[in-house]
Amino acid sequence: MRMETRRDVFQAIADPTRRAIIMLLAAGSMTPNALAEHFNSSRQAVSKHLQVLTECEVLTQEQKGREIHYHLNSTKMKEIEHWLEQFKQLLSKRFDQLDDVLTKLKTNKK
Amino acid sequence: MRMETRRDVFQAIADPTRRAIIMLLAAGSMTPNALAEHFNSSRQAVSKHLQVLTECEVLTQEQKGREIHYHLNSTKMKEIEHWLEQFKQLLSKRFDQLDDVLTKLKTNKK
DNA sequence: TATCTTTGCAACCATTTGGTAGCGTAATGA
DNA sequence: TCATTACGCTACCAAATGGTTGCAAAGATA
């Protein structure tokens, strides 16, 4: 029973196709059709992923006539970076504590 | 029509509860019951997440009597880091190209 | 030994996901 | 003007997800 649809960067990068789309858009903005050509999946399938990515605010749309150009909002990706940073800090803290324990054992042995 | 169950680090961190579990385990190994106390969800729900995380090889189990201690395989997290690194490189490349264009425009104006 | 505790596992359920097919609309181009 | 193209949107489908309840196994404890 999920309360609400979770739409965050972490969900954005959960799907391999979406990760590929992000990578392609990191190289430059593209239209759905141009993107779809890079995949086996249909235009609609890619379009759905683009929708998800837009909801996650990883992408922004720019209408140009009948074409829509999708741009990457690279700042959103920093959330992942930030989370990883916190994770690494927790890890290093743990190893610091382990160091403490080892140091104490040493001094006790003296 | 999904071909196979996707089980990778990216799917592991897609769920907020799983991200929290990873954070807790970054501080030190724990049993399912101890973990479940940190959440509103039931032991079984947490256990399911642990199962997913184990399948993703983000966690390893260690049986100690009737208790099971879950440990973090922090090396798996490097996959995320690696992906982010690639992403950033692509981004910077794009900006380099933009720089090229700007430089050329400058020289043309001369 | 009998009982409690920790845990995995299977069954089940509602919702979400990733995908397809088809329709409507608006812009482009002959 | 008429055909084509690019796209969003809806409806639909099978599989996956996140969650629950209940049960069984095996270790701890009295």
Residues of B with CB below 8 A from A26's CB?
87, 90-91, 94
Q: How far is the CA of A55 from the C1' of D4 (A)?
A: 31
The whole-number average pLDDT for the span B85-95 is: 89
Q: Is residue B69 part of a domain?
A: yes
pLDDT at B4: 53
Q: Is residue B61 part of a domain?
A: yes
Would you tell me which residues 85-104 of chain A have a C-beta closer than 8 angstroms to some C-beta of chain B? 86-87, 90-91, 93-94
Would you tell me which residues 42-61 of chain A have a C-beta closer than 8 angstroms to some C-beta of chain B? none
Residues B90 and A27: beta-carbon distance below 8 Å: yes
Query: What domain range is B38 assigned to?
Result: 9-109
Q: Is residue B3 part of a domain?
A: no
pLDDT at A78: 94
Residues A57 and A73: beta-carbon distance below 8 Å: yes
Domains: count for chain A: 1
Q: Is residue B52 part of a domain?
A: yes
Rounded CA-CA distance A86/A26 in Å is 25
Distance (Å) of CA A82 to CA A50, A55, B88: 24, 20, 14
**Closest in A10, A81, A87 to B77, CB measured:** A87
pLDDT at A94: 79
Q: Is residue A27 part of a domain?
A: yes
Residue nearest to nucleotide C21 (CA to C1'): A44
Closest by Cα among B47, B74, B38, B104 to A88: B74
Q: Is residue A51 part of a domain?
A: yes
The reply to whether B42 has its C-beta less than 7 Å from any atom of strand C is no
Helix (H, G, I), strand (E, B) or coil at A61: strand
Is residue A38 pLDDT above 50, yes or no?
yes
Report pLDDT digits (tens) over A44-87.
Answer: 999 999 999 999 999 999 988 888 999 999 999 999 999 999 99
Q: Is residue B81 part of a domain?
A: yes
Closest by Cα among A27, A23, A21, A34 to A64: A34
Q: Which nucleotide is nearest to B43 (CA to C1')?
A: C7
> B94 pLDDT band (50/70/90 cuts)?
confident
> A110 pLDDT band (50/70/90 cuts)?
very low
Q: Which nucleotide is nearest to B6 (CA to C1')?
A: D16
The overall average pLDDT reported for chain A is: 86
Q: Is residue B34 part of a domain?
A: yes
CATH of the domain at B48: 1.10.10.10
